[in-house]
Chains A and B, each alone.
Chain A
C-alpha cells in the first residue's frame, strides 16, 4: 500500500490552517521528500510550503500503509478494543482531571463528568479545573427496533471514514452523506437525525473515553422498542472494524455495547466541555485508573 491523496477530503480553503512544514509533514506520513512531492501533485494542499496538520492526519490515518504516525497512534490507543466482553463491562474506578491552562487567569466554564450505572465521587470544581473519581460500568444489549437496526446497519455500510475536521465543519452532519466523512460529533448528529425522522427517541451526548487522552467523544443515546435507553456509538463501531481481533460485540453494529471506558457529560453535540475567553488556552483531560487504596 502506498500513500495517495486521491481519496483525501480536502477542506474548503476558508477552513484550512497551514501550520505544518515539510519536515514535520514527512514525519507524520512516514515518507520522504519525493513521496511528499507526489502527494502534493495529486492533490494534497500546500501553501507557501505549509500543510494543514489535520489534512495530513487524515491522509496518514487512511493510507493503509500501517507506518504513518496517525495509524500507529490509533492502533496503540485502540488496543483495548481487543478485550473480552467481560473486561469491557466490568466496573472501573478512574481519576478524572479536566484542566484549562491560560496566563490570563479568567475562569472557564467546564463540564463535569457523569456516569452510567456508576458514580462520580470527590467532585471538585474550581475556576479552571475539575477533578473527580469516576466509577463506570459497561452495558450490553442487542438493538430491538427493526427501524433502528436498519438505520444503524445502513450507517455502518455507508463507507464513512472518521476524520479530523476544522471546528467550523466538525458538527456538520451533511458531510456524512455528501462526502462519506464524519467526526464523532457529525456521525452522532446524523444518526440522531435519522432516528428522529423514524420516530425513535434519540439524543446526542458528548464525553470522554478512559485512556484516550484529550479526546472528546460523541455518541447517541437511543430509546429502543424495549424501553431501554442504549448507547449507539457509530464511530467506535467503525474504529473496531479496523482493529485486528477486536471484540466482535464492538464490531457488530446491531449490538449496543456501552463500554466501561465511556464517561458522559450532560452536554450534547455542539456544546463544548471547556469554554474560555482566550483562544490560546490549553485544555487537557486525564482519566486514568485509580490506584486501589492500601
Chain B
C-alpha cells in the first residue's frame, strides 16, 4: 500500500540507491523541502483526506517506517 512512497522518492532522487525502511530521509537528503510538500499531497490523495499541518511533525516523515506508522498504520512493510 505504501510502495508509492518509495516510488516517489526514487523518482525524485534517482541517485539515492535502495532506500531502506529505517533510512533517515531528511538527513540523507532524499526528502527535502521541495519533495516534502509533494509527498504530503500524495499521501492525502492516497488517504482521500486532508492532513492538517497542525497534525504533523518532521519526525512523521523522517523514515518510511515513520510515514507508514503515522499515516498507514494497518499496512505491511
Contact = CB atoms under 8 A, between A and B. Distances in A.
Contacts of B41: 72, 76
Contacts of B34: 24, 27-28, 69
B45 interface: no
A77 B53 contact: yes
A270 interface: no
Contacts of B54: 80, 210-211, 288-289
A79 interface: yes
Task: Give the interface SS of chain A, mostly helix, strand, loop or mixed.
Answer: helix
A125 interface: no
Contacts of A79: 50, 52-53
Contacts of A289: 54
B70 interface: no
Nearest to A74: B37
A126 interface: no
A211 B53 contact: yes
Given A79-B50, A79-B52, A288 B37 contact: no
Contact of A73 (B12, B37, B52): B37
Contacts of A212: 53
A210 B37 CA distance: 18
Interface in B15-37: 33-34, 37
Give the size category of B's interface with A: 10 to 19
Interface of B: 12, 33-34, 37-38, 40-41, 50, 52-54, 57
Interface of A: 24, 27-28, 69, 72-73, 76-77, 79-80, 210-212, 286, 288-289
Ordered nearest first, which 4 A-B pairs have the shortest CB separation? A73-B37, A211-B53, A69-B34, A72-B37
Contacts of A28: 34
Contacts of B38: 69, 72
Contacts of A211: 53-54
A24 B13 CA distance: 11
A160 B33 CA distance: 26
10 contacts: A69-B34, A69-B37, A69-B38, A72-B37, A73-B33, A76-B37, A76-B40, A76-B53, A80-B53, A80-B54
A73 B12 CA distance: 17
Contacts of A77: 53
A105 B50 CA distance: 41
Contacts of A27: 12, 34
A210 B52 CA distance: 12
